[in-house]
Structure 1
Amino acid sequence: MTAPLLPPPLLPPADWRDFLALTKPRVMTLVVFTGLCGMLAAPVAIHPVLGFTAILCIALGAGAAGALNQWYEADIDAIMRRTAKRPLPDGRMDRQAALHFGVGLAAFSVLLMGFAVNIPAAAILTLSILFYVLVYTVWLKRRTPQNIVIGGAAGAFPPLIGWAAATGDIALLPVLLFSLVFLWTPPHFWSLALFMKSDYAAAGVPMLPVVAGERMTRTQIGLYTIPMAAVAIAPWPVGLTGAIYGIIATLGTALFGWMALVVTLRTRAGDADAMKPEKRLFKYSILYLFLLFGALVVDRWLS
């Protein structure tokens, strides 16, 4: 006679901080900022209440994408040191709760954007969530070293959403801002992947340093920095921004290019602790986007 199967032990109710952690608040900060700057750079003013609602929807949509990403990747998050303490791999939350939270948050953000702001902004927000969850997380990340290249589009949508929330359409400037974030993502993320290579290898994630080696990754960082620099400066010579943005973008991009060149030309570092140039590039790349998007808004207001 076989023993009866016992139900799995119930996890304690998740704390509100665990739900907040699911939304990846650090990543959300940059997403919200670029979306806000896209909205403020638009040629028409949006009502403050509608503007606040649009930014709230962008934040909720980004949080939903982060939650669904962690729901799907709980197995590999448990292997990697950088992610092992997240709510799901650490056993502080049930996967079903994370799934329901992510889906509910996504639906609410899109519906609120559509009803309160406008349909174009809601459509782009929907596309950004689906792209991050289905294209990057489910399809690309575990299958190809080009995952972050194609998947980088997901994080590039917020300026388009912010602009569309204010104007109801899309123009050349937000397309350039989208392209900037899209081209910025590979050097930004690969600089992180270089000193997190062992974690990705252990989790079986085919990040470029794992499958192609450090030399190829460094070369690709340098190659992607070139078109990124061109797109970053482009709004000034084509007359979409003034000298304030142009000068700050030129100087900030020159520093990014120098740091990327140091990483590109560097020989194999040997271990993560020795990778100071890579860590500096990763940290500066975040500041770089804040700097450029902030300069864009200041330029708009003072021009």
Structure 2
Amino acid sequence: MAQPRDFLALLKPRVMSLVVLTAIAGLVVSPGHMSPTLAFFSILAIAIGAGAAGSLNMWYDADIDGVMTRTAKRPVPSGRVDPETALSFGIGLSILGVSLLGLAANWLAAGLLAFTIFFYAVVYTMGLKRWTPQNIVIGGAAGAFPPMIGWAAATGGISIESVTLFLIIFLWTPPHFWALALFKLRDYDNAGVPMLPNVAGERATRIQIFAYSLILAPIGVAPFLLGFAGPVYGVASVLLGANFVRHAYRTLKMPDGDPKMIPAKKLFGFSILYLFGLFAILLGEGLVTHLLSAFGG
């Protein structure tokens, strides 16, 4: 019988935590104004939507999750939650999250959330993931929408600033997941998922990882250059970006067939710190600005 922790696992809480962080950052640094209550319910709705997408992903991917060591213990492939329950849970949460965001904020933000769920569950999970080695490049857009949704919730619109936040996550996703795919290559091969290392080889993957890191690093600094992030973010984004490139370069120089894949593992770990650090600092600066503005008023 399914336990509450199994339904929590369906929500992909680690992924959800990053979604929530980036959505809050988008909401806080935007020029819009929301009451704390409406802001809370807006973020809650985005979190529910992220959980819905995770549940739908686990429902559809149960067959390949069961043959991969990283995912075999998930609730559906392990038999703790039956597929129909995961599907119903995901659909119900999707309706709840989108409706709540529309009522708490606006229907543009709700529409973006609905599109994000659809893109992740249908376009990426049901289509791209099993069809093309560029799956994570295109599918990564789903994970890049949360700060844009947060911005739209507060302002009712989309701007160059929110697009910039989208681009940071969009460009971060391929090197992040390809680093994982390098040292989990056998898992993806057994599951028949055409991740880039399985199709194009390790060398081509490492080259693309490095190329993306060279594009990502300056885009990561863009919020400071565009004036909606402060000097702390500016310095941190330069340092974090330089370290991302350093790890990507070491991965590039990694010997073919390296059994330990230490540089790739370090890049994967650092990539999480990179994205978390950027958006945590962005959020912190935004909160300080709001507090100073309130105190000054």
TM-score, normalization by structure 2: 0.95
Which residue does the alignment assign to 2:159?
A: 171
Is residue 243–residue 299 contact of structure 1 (8 Å, CA) maintained in 2? no
Identity in percent: 55
Which residue does the alignment assign to 2:293?
A: none
Superposed displacement of residue 171, structure 1:
1.3
Which residue does the alignment assign to 1:293?
A: 279
Which residue does the alignment assign to 1:84?
A: 72
The answer to whether the aligner puts 1:156 opposite 2:144 as a matched pair is yes
> Counterparts in 2 of 1:275-290, with a 5 A limit?
275-290=261-276
The answer to whether the aligner puts 1:118 opposite 2:106 as a matched pair is yes
Is residue 218–residue 241 contact of structure 2 (8 Å, CA) maintained in 1? no
Q: Which amino acid aligns with 1:277?
A: P
The answer to whether the aligner puts 1:93 opposite 2:66 as a matched pair is no
Which residue does the alignment assign to 1:219?
A: 207
Which residue does the alignment assign to 2:222?
A: 234
Residue deviations 1:204-240 (CA, integer Å, cap 9, x gap): 0000011111001100100111111121112222333
Q: Which amino acid aligns with 1:103?
A: I
TM-score, normalization by structure 1: 0.93
Which residue does the alignment assign to 2:185?
A: 197
The answer to whether the aligner puts 1:147 opposite 2:158 as a matched pair is no
Of 232, 236, 249, 1:261 maps to 249
Which residue does the alignment assign to 2:295?
A: none
Is residue 55–residue 90 contact of structure 2 (8 Å, CA) maintained in 1? yes
Q: Which amino acid aligns with 1:259?
A: H
Could you tell me how far apart the structure 2 residues matched to 1:236 and 1:222 are?
Answer: 23
Instruction: Give 5+ residue unaligned stretches, structure 2.
Output: 290-297
Which residue does the alignment assign to 1:10?
A: none
Superposed displacement of residue 45, structure 1:
2.9
Could you tell me how far apart the structure 2 residues matched to 1:294 and 1:26 are?
Answer: 15
Of 41, 49, 71, 1:53 maps to 41
Superposed displacement of residue 269, structure 1:
4.1
Q: Which amino acid aligns with 2:286?
A: R
Superposed displacement of residue 118, structure 1:
0.9
Could you tell me how far apart the structure 2 residues matched to 1:182 and 1:258 are?
Answer: 20
Could you tell me how far apart the structure 1 residues matched to 2:128 and 2:48 are?
Answer: 23
Superposed displacement of residue 294, structure 1:
1.5
Is residue 245–residue 295 contact of structure 1 (8 Å, CA) maintained in 2? yes
Q: Which amino acid aligns with 1:231?
A: I
- Which structure has the highest helix share of the two? 2
Q: How many residue pairs end up in the alignment?
A: 289
Residue deviations 1:174-203 (CA, integer Å, cap 9, x gap): 110000000000000000000000000000
Could you tell me how far apart the structure 1 residues matched to 2:4 and 2:228 are?
Answer: 43
Residue deviations 1:62-110 (CA, integer Å, cap 9, x gap): 1000000010010000100000001111111111001000000001100
